[in-house]
Chains A and B, each alone.
Chain A
Amino acid sequence: MECINFAKPGMSPQEIVSRVRSLPGVALTSTGMRDAGQSDYKNRHRIIDLATLAPYYDRMGLFSVECHGGARWHVGIMNRQESPFEEIAILREQMPNILLQTLIRETNLWGYRPYPKNVIEQAVAAVDIDVWRCFSFLNDVRNMRTVAEAVMKRGRLFQPAISYTQADWTTNEYYIGVVRDMVDLCGGTDEIILCIKDMAGVGSPKRIGELIDAIKQAYPDLVIQFHRHTTDGLAIPSLLAAAHAGAKLLDVEEDSLTRFYGQPPILGVDAYLTESGIPVHLNREQAELAVQKAREWNGHYVWAESPFKGFDHSVIEHRMPGGAFPSSFEQAEKGGFLSSMPAILKVMSLYNRIVKYFDVTPGSQITWVTCSGIVNRYFKEKGQAGVDEVIALLTKFVAEKGQNFGTMTEGEQQELLGLFSTAPGDFKNLLLGNYGRLPMGWPADWVYQSAFGSEWTKAIRDRKDLSPLDVLTDDDLPKLRSELAAHLGRSPSDEEFILYLMHPKDALTMIAFRDEYGEAPLVLPSDVWRAGLRRPGDSVEFELGGRPHRIELVSIGAEHDGTFPVVLRVDNKMRVYTVDAPQTEGKSGGAKNKTRMATGASQIGTPINGIVWRLGGPGQNGLAVGDTVSKGTELANIEAMKMENAIIAPFSARIEEVCISLNETVKEGQLLFVLSEA
């Protein structure tokens, strides 16, 4: 199909919506730059590789490219050392004709806590994105208000997303209620696109078809985009059902990136829909080239793939979202409880019928920590038998007794009341209404008893039915900004400030990393980025600021004094780099060699590097433990480059410890004396 981009950056939301409406069939959003990587590669896909897809995306006839948001933001800062702002700038330059799309967690934005209005407004204004897909793990549309207003005020397209799952309570009526709230919030259907977000990949073709049909009957003009993960193995037929029912936009990813928990493959979806008589707005040739291009670099990320492989139809029970699959299994592997994963998934499938919300950030983290916590606790106390016991208990309670607490035995009741005793703080926040209103109302009282113990009646009294937006007071932005400036020792850029607002600790680490290693994350090819140059003679070529460069490894010396001498030929110039060996704890001699630094008022340090040429004042012969000195007395004199620097007693004191000897070379801040008040 001959295709041009029908929607472009700079168009008004209204124009974009009307162009989608007039499409003969469907158009696609590629998630190759965001959700594909999040679902199967822990968000480790680097911008240098992703950007190679940009020229194809720019000419492919896609509706948009999801390239931003979700956990990609945080992982970028924490693991890839890339700023999401840099990524947008690079992609904008290389694909100027395509809509860039983000995924945003209503009041949580790209962070993990609810932000007040002024932070949300600040962040939305600073991020150059065309399509803002916004979801709530509670489907609490009230929480979307500030984002919606900020995005629409900027003239960008707001895309409210329904968090979708398949359960007895997620009826058409329920969802149409959520859609009604969204349409009301956004003042009609002409400036928004509705997304149905099946983040776990559980929507059966029949169910999806029915739901979209029901929504289209209620809101015939509403443009619907369907986003679905492939976890259950039924994604492609489900997409066809959605298209038949009237969805105009579908999310896909490059075939070569497809594994098990992301979106379905673009070429397969195109072929299947076309054969079924639904025109797909896609330049097939460019799409094939993009698929091929991704294959060239995707091999660098094998290490980041989930240790748990293959489709998993039981996802319809446990509902772990695709985006959480690799990271959850990785945590289980690192924590040494990978073998408990089937039990954890089973507990999740029962838990989600007791406390009802949608398993997507931050809900999925609450579910994961709570359920893995329960299983690990039982395993620790009673081994596998304990795990079997808690699953049997929950199965009986949920599946057989219809969650009728009174019908359980005394002992079983006691066990249930202990279930959430060690649940994380965020689980308690959820029960208190700090995230907003739960979709099916509050859980049963015993859940509160279990989580809050004797405080449970107070918890119920205190729980709120308000949106966090109505509760949170604005952050003191100038104060936070000076806090950041103090950390950095310089004025932060606006972008650094936004990073800091989302993830304070990790942003600081990343900024420090970038101050030290500059553009290394942006220019080095992925094999060298991850493992460096392996053998002498290995080299890497790259461009920096439009100029070609070459670095060749000459040698790596043996560890000496805690450092490795590394010799590189950098643009043909040989240079030695001293690399600090990693600190191994308990290594002999490590503590002994460490210079003691002065801390606190009673420890006197040297203000400069130098040589202790005199202990005690002029004419005095040394200084010893037990000597008393009056305030202002000279304790020692440090000479550096022929300048003398007297070390003066700050108060009248007794010498408790003399930490240096005459003619010793001392480093700035090194401990000289320990004093006590005389």
Chain B
Amino acid sequence: MHKEIKKVLIANRSVPATRIMHTCRDREIATVAVYSSPDRLASHVAMADASVHIGGASASESYLNKERLIAAALANGADAIHPGWGFLAENSDFARMVIAAGLVWIGPPPQAIEAMGDKIAAKDIAATADVPMIPGITNVTRVEQIEQWVAEEGIAYPLMIKAAAGGGGKGMVKVSNGENLELALAQAASEAMKAFGDDKMLVEKCIDPAKHIEVQIVADEHGNVLHLFERECTLQRRNQKVIEEAPSPSLSEETRQQICATAVRLMRKIGYVSAGTVEFIYDPVVEKFYFLEVNTRLQVEHGVTELITGLDIVSLMLDIAEGKEIPFRQEGVHRSGWALEARINAEDPLTFNPSFGTISRLEVPHGPGVRIYQGAYEGADIPPYYDSLFMLLMTYGQRREDAIRIMDRALRRNLRIEGVKTLAPLLLSLIGHDTFKQGDFSTRFIERFIEQSVEQPVEMEEPWGEETPRHMDELTATFTETDGEDKLQQIAKYVAKISALGPQDWM
């Protein structure tokens, strides 16, 4: 059935909202933004053709408020809703309500969301599709269940406690021994309840060292299920991805074919439609991959796949939602070059504590091989209520080292952010690290890297000789190496101060 989309309401904010609006503009589809009170001056509001206030600061009053979102779409003549990522993107109830309201849901069928949203059910389905599984137990509510399973199956710690309904690292806690099991389970359950309204938990053996590899899928109503190759998202902190890339530097061509085929097989089995991702844990020692979960939505890191395939995934989602057939076959999907993505979160680069406030200065990288998805502008506020991501910085080159070099240039020489702390110094030191350059890193790399950087004392053995500064220290220092514009700002700051206050006592 063909349904033409003329106006899309984007039930999201910041980067996902503006990202989707760009494609809509491309296709001359009108857009409706929604916003909470503190977001009234946010960039997605300014960018949309129409904007609707949907509630107060807390997400439950605004971006999670299903009824208001649908009412806003209807009132503004939107014929479709794109949920972006996060918020209601993987909420099957919402998808059903959207469809019931006569609107087009730009996403997978509600049943697919529901099936994959329950991590336990997802595993059962995956198992039937011959997808390899990590040992684990489901439906966990009590500590004793975990203890019994560990004892019976001879499972070694560490373990991972996860929200059955979860994703994005929320409601996910790692347990390194049996002692803090109780507190960990309680915390994970509480976070899960808050983030997803469901505190059903599952527990798995934790693969270490592990890599995180995922396959991008697009599927249409006409039975076409294609993969757009894989992405590697191994660099994470607190189970949230920090740097992603495509393709993966860790896979042999043979494993790549296998993992992509496995993902397609699973999605076909589910009857998946729209863009989605099958995530795997990859054990580089034995070169085996295990099913992790299916993300039934557009993902933050979709851009790196777009860069190596030349496709616009949001545009494909619109086509698919309109009932069209994907205009190419698997043989028509080619990859070329290498893409990296760095997440610019408003966070302290060492402690990862959120850093909200006003972006007082923002210089955005440009030039060959750079793509930016920007969710905030200079002068904008980063409110404390939502996710800390406000910009995605992607670079693209023929070879991996080209993409890394361009990323280094973009972070070191172009990007300037003041007013809030960002992950940028950490990102720069990560991409400059030999381990990263060699592609030989695990999901625990950042954790270990930060430990090294922070705990190693300042060495002062040869005070006048060559020092070997701490890696992080050194790179953070080069990051703060000022360019002409930075230096000019320092002077302007002084002129502003003295102009306002007059001659100072210390003079």
Task: Please determine whether chains A and B interact with each other in the same assembly.
Answer: yes
Hey, which bits of chain A sit against chain B, CB under 8 A?
A: 44, 78-79, 303, 477-478, 481-482, 485-486, 490-491, 494, 497, 516-520, 523-524, 528-534, 540, 542, 544-545, 547, 549, 551, 553, 556, 564, 566, 568, 570-571, 575, 577, 579, 581-582, 607-611, 618, 640-644, 646, 665, 668
| Best-surrounded residue of B187, B190, B488 (most CB of chain A within 10 A) | B488
Question: Inside 8 A of B473's CB, which chain A residues have their CB?
Answer: 490-491
Interface pair B354/A544, CB less than 8 Å apart: no
Q: Out of B353, B460, B497, which one reaches A579, CB within 8 Å?
A: B497
Interface residues on B, range: 35 or more
CA gap between A564 and B496 in the complex, in Å: 9
Q: Out of A531, A547, A556, which one reaches B484, CB within 8 Å?
A: A547
> With an 8 A cutoff between CB atoms, is B507 at the interface?
yes
Q: Can you list 13 A-B contacts with CB-CB less than 8 angstroms, sorted by A residue number?
A: A78-B506, A518-B490, A531-B502, A534-B499, A553-B495, A564-B500, A566-B496, A568-B492, A570-B488, A608-B353, A609-B354, A609-B356, A618-B190
CA gap between A79 and B190 in the complex, in Å: 56
The verdict on A545 contacting B487 (CB below 8 Å), with A491-B469, A642-B195 known, is yes
Interface pair B354/A608, CB less than 8 Å apart: yes
The verdict on A579 contacting B500 (CB below 8 Å), with A520-B491, A528-B495, A549-B488 known, is yes
**Minimum Cβ distance to chain B for residue A202 (Å):** 32
Interface pair A642/B387, CB less than 8 Å apart: yes
Q: Out of B191, B356, B463, B495, which one reaches A524, CB within 8 Å?
A: B495
Q: Out of B190, B463, B486, B501, which one reaches A477, CB within 8 Å?
A: B463
> With an 8 A cutoff between CB atoms, is B482 at the interface?
yes
> With an 8 A cutoff between CB atoms, is B300 at the interface?
no
CA gap between A442 and B342 in the complex, in Å: 73
> With an 8 A cutoff between CB atoms, is B477 at the interface?
yes
Interface pair B354/A644, CB less than 8 Å apart: no
- B440-469 interface mask toward A, CB cutoff 8 Å, 1 = contact, 0 = none? 000000000000000000101101100101
Interface pair A532/B491, CB less than 8 Å apart: no
The verdict on A518 contacting B491 (CB below 8 Å), with A482-B460, A485-B460, A579-B501 known, is yes
Interface pair A79/B353, CB less than 8 Å apart: no
Question: Inside 8 A of A79's CB, which chain B residues have their CB?
Answer: 506-507
Give the total number of A-B pairs whose CB atoms are below 8 A apart: 151
Interface pair A516/B493, CB less than 8 Å apart: yes
Hey, which bits of chain B sit against chain A, CB under 8 A?
A: 170, 186-187, 190-191, 194-195, 238, 351, 353-356, 384-388, 458, 460-461, 463-464, 467, 469, 473, 477, 482, 484, 486-503, 506-507
Which 7 residue pairs are nearest across A and B when measured between Cβ atoms?
A518-B490, A532-B499, A532-B498, A577-B496, A520-B494, A608-B353, A566-B496
Chain A contact residues: helix, strand, loop or mixed: mixed
The verdict on A486 contacting B458 (CB below 8 Å), with A520-B491, A568-B495, A610-B384 known, is yes
Q: Out of B384, B488, B498, B499, which one reaches A611, CB within 8 Å?
A: B384
CA gap between A375 and B252 in the complex, in Å: 89
Question: Inside 8 A of B499's CB, which chain A residues have their CB?
Answer: 532-534, 553, 556, 566, 568
CA gap between A668 and B384 in the complex, in Å: 13
Q: Out of A486, A532, A610, A611, which one reaches B502, CB within 8 Å?
A: A532
Nearest residue, chain A, Cβ from B387: A641
Interface pair B354/A491, CB less than 8 Å apart: no
The verdict on A570 contacting B460 (CB below 8 Å), with A491-B469, A532-B499, A609-B384 known, is no
CA gap between A564 and B354 in the complex, in Å: 27
The verdict on A481 contacting B187 (CB below 8 Å), with A520-B491, A566-B500 known, is no
CA gap between A566 and B388 in the complex, in Å: 29
Interface pair B354/A517, CB less than 8 Å apart: no
CA gap between A622 and B458 in the complex, in Å: 43
CA gap between A516 and B498 in the complex, in Å: 14
Interface pair B484/A579, CB less than 8 Å apart: no
The verdict on A570 contacting B492 (CB below 8 Å), with A609-B355, A641-B388 known, is yes
Question: Inside 8 A of A577's CB, which chain B residues have their CB?
Answer: 492-493, 496-497
Q: Out of B170, B491, B501, which one reaches A544, CB within 8 Å?
A: B491
CA gap between A100 and B140 in the complex, in Å: 79
Question: Inside 8 A of B496's CB, which chain A residues have their CB?
Answer: 532, 566, 568, 577, 579
Interface pair B477/A582, CB less than 8 Å apart: no
Interface pair B488/A644, CB less than 8 Å apart: no
**Minimum Cβ distance to chain B for residue A578 (Å):** 8
Interface pair B501/A517, CB less than 8 Å apart: no
CA gap between A518 and B461 in the complex, in Å: 30
Question: Inside 8 A of B355's CB, which chain A residues have their CB?
Answer: 609
CA gap between A607 and B353 in the complex, in Å: 8
Interface pair B500/A641, CB less than 8 Å apart: no
Q: Out of B354, B464, B486, which one reaches A610, CB within 8 Å?
A: B354
